[in-house]
Amino acid sequence: MNYFLTGGTGFIGRFLVEKLLARGGTIHVLVREQSQDKLQVLRERWGADESQVKAVIGDLTSPNLGIDAAVLESLKGDIDHFFHLAAVYDMGADEESQQIANIEGTRAAVQAAEAMGAKHFHHVSSIAAAGLFKGIFREDMFEEAEKLDHPYLRTKHESEKVVREECKVPFRVYRPGMVIGHSKTGEMDKVDGPYYFFKMIQKIRHALPQWVPTIGIEGGRLNIVPVDFVVDALDHIAHLEGEDGNCFHLVDSDPYKVGEILNIFSEAGHAPKMGMRIDSRMFGFIPPFIRQSLKNLPPVKRLTSAVLDDMGIPPSVMSFINYPTRFDARETERALKDSGIEVPRLPDYAPVIWDYWERNLDPDLFKDRTLKGTVEGRVCVVTGATSGIGLATAQKLADAGAILVIGARKLERLKEVAAELESRGASVHAYPCDFSDMEACDEFVKTVLDNHGHVDVLVNNAGRSIRRSLDLSFDRFHDFERTMQLNYFGSVRLIMGFAPKMLERRRGHVVNISSIGVLTNAPRFSAYVASKSALDAFSRCAAAEWSDRNVTFTTINMPLVKTPMIAPTKIYDSVPTLTPDEAAGMVADAIVYRPKRIATRLGIFAQVLHALAPKMGEIVMNTGYRMFPDSPAAAGSKSGEKPKVSTEQVAFAAIMRGIYW
């Protein structure tokens, strides 16, 4: 048999060509002049040569598909099956491109099929042709479609109408559901349909342990089918006798609700599942004009836009969350009877769909998410850069090509670090500063701005930690003053100094090294945690003011890190800690991705526990407080003897990894 395909190099088309080649046919594929190389690559994939898969030069947007008259004449009477698959399958595409490709392209395909005297015309439409019909849409229904406001729905309906009213070649219409990747390999060529929610699932996975239940939506039923089912069914039905004039729904007869689909893919992606799903219909008692008024409020619109943009979800997709249409497929089931072709259940193949997306389609794979791509040639300031987290961060920024500004109290050590970083080929500018001295902070800011003009990234790392229980602090009010002076006032002074230029340039990012203790309410660290909490609160307020001016903040609730700051507490030598390099990796992630907060899952869980069950959280922390004593130094002893650590303490610290005790 001889076949002609539009869209033969597209996603569904390339799988269909493979099926048709297995039948021993000669296949003519419409390609644009500049796309012949793409077809040659596909020939190699199919194991076919130019005599089996022939290129026909043309264009979907031209009459008769832009095929040369002589070529059309040579094909006349020789095409048994004409498959029209080419179209815009994209909910986010603009209306004009959909109009041209879907409607005018179909009209051109019908003209070409008639001109070459094709025996059968197979139009691959979509369930979108039904619009947002409420209820069951049968295969023999067409005019009953309703709510075709969205251009994708409207153009798919109108293109099918072209076939029904204008095609003189015996035709068959196929309406696939939402086509996703191959059920065996996961192969897919773009992000569409349910894939739009994968980034959201991935972000939730990074934020919460898999066992933590979440709250989500229920939604309507989305009809999802894998591409191999669609192609197998299309190939089989196209070659049956006596089916001309019929329409076939290539759908799942038992589709899942949106909430079920999200849970299936959450499980496949090892993310938390929604333990509670809210059905939006429960808000149906609210008059539509009130719901619409609320949606149009500026804060609601901005919040919705920001969330959808962060997740990579086109706003138009949200209108399909409560999809109202069910599709009857009795004609398809009749045609496929005894063929062995059936829709696989989504839970059975969701893992390969997720795996293929994460390895090949995740939008982050196509962005320069390297530290070098983010900071090269940009001015980055790191305080407390001569040891611990600050030094490790400075090293990463130096290697990434940043214009690195480092500050610390001790001039000699600062010079040593600057020389070491310069030996790595970095552009380093070292300025001594005691960041607990407000006048010194002002001088530091002035020097940096005079020499560099602006700051792109500020890492507030310089800090002071004090581990001492309140029972030993009644006469040590200066502990609270000293931590607040450096950890809070010093950091705020730098932010307020660099912010005017950031706001003027509409570009700037502040990374504050906070503590997991802010989330866990760590005992013995009241002075330290209070100062970090103050900085966290300031940053949240500032971020709210500057959200629309592209000056952003990231708070890192850093777990316990093995740095000189914790060295006096000898018991920490026996508990799990991060290395400075691991901590610097968190800072690098903050600079690259600019999240609002970076914290360990245990830290986030502790914050949730304190919010939902504060007494329980208090008891857990009190247990740790009683289990780990004050250090001799905190108690006023000069003994340098390392305290003995019990098995119970080690086990408790391992379970509560990263929490300060």
Active site (catalytic) residues? 528
The DSSP output letter for 578 is B
CA distances (Å), origin 224, targets 117, 251, 252, 501: 35, 7, 7, 50
**DSSP-assigned letter for residue 221:** E
Tell me if residue 94 falls in helix, strand or coil: coil
Tell me, what amino acid is at 63?
Answer: P
Tokens (6 digits) for 579: 């290395």
| Cβ count near 610 (within 10 Å) | 18
Q: What angle do CA 183, 185, 189 make, to 5 degrees?
A: 90
Residues in Cβ contact with 482 at an 8 Å cutoff, skipping those fewer than 6 apart? 436, 464, 466, 527
148's tokens = 């075709």
- For the four alpha carbons of 103, 104, 109 and 114, in that order, the dihedral sign comes to positive
Structural tokens at position 133: 């019909």
Q: What number of helices (H) and strands (E) belong to the chain?
A: 25, 22
Which segments of 118-257 does DSSP mark as H helices, in order? 151-166, 198-207, 227-238
Give the whole-angstrom CA distance, residue 507 versus residue 13.
45
Cα–Cα distance measured from residue 620 to residue 609, given in angstroms and rounded to the nearest whole number: 10
> Which residues, 6+ apart, have CB-to-CB distance to 378 below 8 Å?
402, 403, 456, 457
Q: DSSP string covering 416-436, please?
A: HHHHHHHTTT-EEEEEE--TT
* Residue 144 and residue 133 in contact, taking contact as beta carbons nearer than 8 Å: yes
Which CA distances in Å does 249 have to 130, 141, 209, 210, 422?
11, 11, 40, 37, 66
Burial class (CB in 10 A: 0-12, 13-18, 19+), 628: buried
Instruction: Record the tokens describing residue 381, joined without a space.
Output: 């300031």
Residue 209: CB atoms within 10 Å? 12
Contacts of 452 (CB under 8 A, 6+ apart): 379, 403, 405, 429
